[in-house]
Amino acid sequence: MEATGTDEVEKIKSKFMSAWHNMKYSWVLKTKTYFSRNSPVFLLGKCYHFKTDGRYKALNSFQSYLAGHAFNGSNFDKITVEISGNVEEFRKDFISRIWLTYREEFPQIKGSALTTDCGWGCTLRTGQMLLAQGLMLHFLGRAWVWPEALDIDNSEAESWTAHTVKKLTASFEASLTAEREPKILSNHHRGTFQRNCDDSERRNEVYHRKIISWFGDSPLAAFGLHQLIEYGKKSGKIAGDWYGPAVVAHILRKAVEEARDPELQGLTVYVAQDCTVYISDVIDRQCSALGSGKADTKAVIILVPVRLGGERTNMDYIEFVKGILSLEYCVGIIGGKPKQSYYFNGFQDDSLIYMDPHYCQSFVDVSIKDFPLESFHCPSPKKMSFKKMDPSCTIGFYCRTVQDFEKASEEITKMLKSSSKEKYPLFTFVKGHSKDYDFASSPLREENALFSEDEKKRLKRFSTEEFVLL
């Protein structure tokens, strides 16, 4: 009887905390983000300059920018960056990125009473956003933008607070009574998609929806919160725990390895070991069998957990971070500031541009036909000073072919050497396999557990150094 009473108390406590987090993270204050017209804005390899009219290839402008920011322009003689002077083009590009935030009232997470990730799931969400960008590059390409992007304008953002006021009481009561919150649906974007589009646009729309559906908040979604938590259990994490950027990198690797959708068989994920990318290990992953007799190579997403300093971010690394976000094959950074995780995907001057997962939205059933898309796209960017950045983060890159990877490794190595004022760079590319350097485990070996013993030791060290996520 005593145990039963304790269980009831824990359930009531869990419901109360869920209600509190839902209210706390549903409340959005409308703030404006200001951009200078005198400085370029970089977003995942694309450069926008709001004083410039028209669109053109701007190799010389990019090299001038690098020369003025501690980089040797000759190291980037093969990089071209598309520059646009249209503010609307930047908005359309930013809004087209997939935004994954806290959700509430989704199916209960196995082994817990939780139906929301408010208050603890932010790093898993930023990891999802990084992986989603990798999938968008893989299936849609960097030039793709959502045709409906500019329909999600600031009027919708301004309505969030009014929408939240309606949700507060219902959310609180539903959490305490274990009843499903009545959905308050926007009338925006209702009706069938009636755009006159060609086959290419229809194909892109199918993949757009498919990518989002892989991140749905249901147990069957390949990269949904439920699956990621299951993989995290094998490293000692449970629902409600805090996750650091390095742990999330390994969870994402495992999720892609275990994905059974045929569309995902042409993609693999490699996680750097002790800030080292072993070139032969990456190529082995790319050349592993695709199945069905296919001889083609796999695309790879490379994740590099790093620390940009000790207690605080070392400002000497800022130019390197800018250089990384200027690369077209960069898929962003899982990072944040102390106690909060953000998805960094661009910058202007000494401010990072990011997408914030700390907004609680209602569960969306992505299994239904024509599910609403607007809550998966952020209407406006946010900016944060580099000085506030927590040093613990994971950097991501996407390479479609072995040749792309070899080119990227050369470019990034030059960038690391040019930007590093320290004796050792943030991370390195090394020829050969990890086993050639006395690592016991091969990254291609099938393992019963999520992590090898070596990985567990490294993650344990990372976990003690990383910031606490709330």
Is 390 noted as a catalytic residue in this protein? no
Q: Looking at 117, 217, 356, 390, which residue is catalytic?
A: 356
Verify whether residue 358 is a known catalytic residue: yes
3-class secondary-structure state, position 289? coil
Q: Is 241 a catalytic residue?
A: no
Can you tell me the distance from the alpha carbon of 414 to that of 407, in angstroms, rounded to the nearest whole number? 11
Q: Which two tokens stand for residue 348?
A: 């202007």
Q: What single DSSP character describes residue 431?
A: S
The CA-atom distances, in angstroms, between 157 and each of 30, 150, 151, 276, 331 are 7, 13, 12, 42, 25
Active-site choice (122, 330, 360, 393) = 122
Out of 208, 226, 358, 433, pick the active-site residue. Answer: 358
Which of 304, 326, 281, 265 is CA-nearest to residue 425?
Answer: 304
**How far, in Å, CA of 292 to CA of 295, rounded?**
9
> Do residues 53 and 44 touch, judged by C-beta distance below 8 A?
no
**Residues 60 and 80: beta-carbon distance below 8 Å:** no
Going by their DSSP bridges, the two strands 103-104 and 361-362 should be labelled as parallel
- Give the number of residues written for the chain: 470
- What letters, b where the CB count within 10 A reaches 16 and e where it falls short, cover 112-143? ebbbbbbbbbbbbbbbbbbbbbbbbbbbbebe
- Residues marked active site are found at 122, 356, 358
